[in-house]
Amino acid sequence: MDITKVGVIGAGQMGNGIAHVFALAGYDVLMTDVSRDALDKARELIEANMDRQVARGKISEQDRNAAIGRISTTMTLADLGATDLVIEAATERETVKAAIFEDLVPHLGPNTILTSNTSSISITRLASRTDRPEKFMGFHFMNPVPVMQLVELIRGIATDDPTYEALKGVVERLGKTSATAEDFPAFIVNRILMPMINEAVYTLYEGVGSVASIDSAMKLGTNHPMGPLELADFIGLDTCLAIMNVLHDGLADTKYRPCPLLTKYVEAGWLGRKTQRGFYDYRGEVPVPTR
């Protein structure tokens, strides 16, 4: 399967990072979003991040300019019909993702591969909402995409070998490493990571430790670069809650029950860095624990 043109659905944190790495790897990228403002901000962020890479000697000015030139944007989802590979990176809600694929499918060529950057939702179920479940896979990038080396490849029950091999080749061309996961709730990374974060929230909820002590303990005691509550703020508490709900619903095990305190923060709109408040308050010069 010859992949040269890639469509990216969603211009948020993940979408712009995916567009960034694909453009640098020589792919033509067409990025779409329902918001023109989001597309403009994504392009500005990609340019700023590439400028930082140039300043650090990671890429040349020539490579930066060529990559920027390969990225185009559109607000019309149907325009992605001309691409060879589509990567959906919309919000982590199954109804939204399924609706996007249903709207896109009538405009696709017969050989276009469909993928989702979902961090937890069933690939088999998403694929069943399309006309090509054999050409559908989970393509889960880690955040921030230009920095993190891993890509999880998740085959649905119907995914064929040529599709899997094509995406494995794409990951290699991006200069990243793939890990193949079976299609079970949250796959590998979030199946392990999110219960740890949820347990850290329970530790806070039960008064075992404060935000600062929990994060310090994990950073210094287990050599993690970020504490679990700081990491939750970086990921987004709404995303953490959504993944815990997928685990709890999909595996029917009480050990995956989301902590009530995590739910409370999300209900308050305190979602972490993106809203300036979560387990830390980011509105000042230095983040301050909120508990």
Locate all alpha helices (DSSP H) within the chain, ordered by sequence: 13-24, 36-55, 61-69, 94-104, 123-127, 161-173, 189-205, 211-222, 228-235, 237-251, 260-267
Check if the beta carbon of residue 208 is closer than 8 Å to that of residue 223: no
DSSP state, residue 72 = E
Mean pLDDT of 68-75: 97
Q: For residue 92, what pLDDT band results from cuts at 50, 70 and 90? A: confident
Catalytic residues: 119, 140, 152, 190
Q: What is the CATH number of domain 5-181?
A: 3.40.50.720
Check if the beta carbon of residue 201 is closer than 8 Å to that of residue 262: yes
Q: pLDDT at position 6, please?
A: 98
Chain segment 258-289, per-residue pLDDT in tens: 999 999 999 999 999 999 999 999 999 999 99
Q: Enter the tokens of residue 289.
A: 């624990």
Chain segment 102-159, per-residue pLDDT in tens: 999 999 999 999 999 998 899 999 999 999 999 999 999 999 999 999 999 999 999 9
Coil, helix or strand at residue 272: strand
Q: Domain locations in the chain?
A: 5-181, 190-283
Chain segment 7-30, per-residue pLDDT in tens: 999 999 899 999 999 999 999 999
Q: pLDDT at position 207, please?
A: 98
Q: For residue 91, what pLDDT band results from cuts at 50, 70 and 90? A: confident
Is 80 exceeded by the pLDDT of residue 1? no
DSSP symbols for 155-200 = E-TT--HHHHHHHHHHHHHTT-EEEEE-SSTTTTHHHHHHHHHHHH
Mean pLDDT of 65-82: 97
Is 80 exceeded by the pLDDT of residue 187? yes
Q: pLDDT at position 283, please?
A: 97
Fold of 190-283: N-(1-d-carboxylethyl)-l-norvaline Dehydrogenase; domain 2 (1.10.1040)
pTM above 0.85, yes or no: yes
Residue closest to 278 by CA, chosen among 95, 286, 289, 223: 289
Is 80 exceeded by the pLDDT of residue 51? yes
Chain segment 209-261, per-residue pLDDT in tens: 999 999 999 999 999 999 999 999 999 999 999 999 999 999 999 999 999 99
Check if the beta carbon of residue 4 is closer than 8 Å to that of residue 28: yes
Q: pLDDT at position 37, please?
A: 96
Residue carrying the six token digits 């479940």: 133
Q: What is the C-alpha to C-alpha distance for residues 60 and 55, in angstroms, rounded to an integer?
A: 9
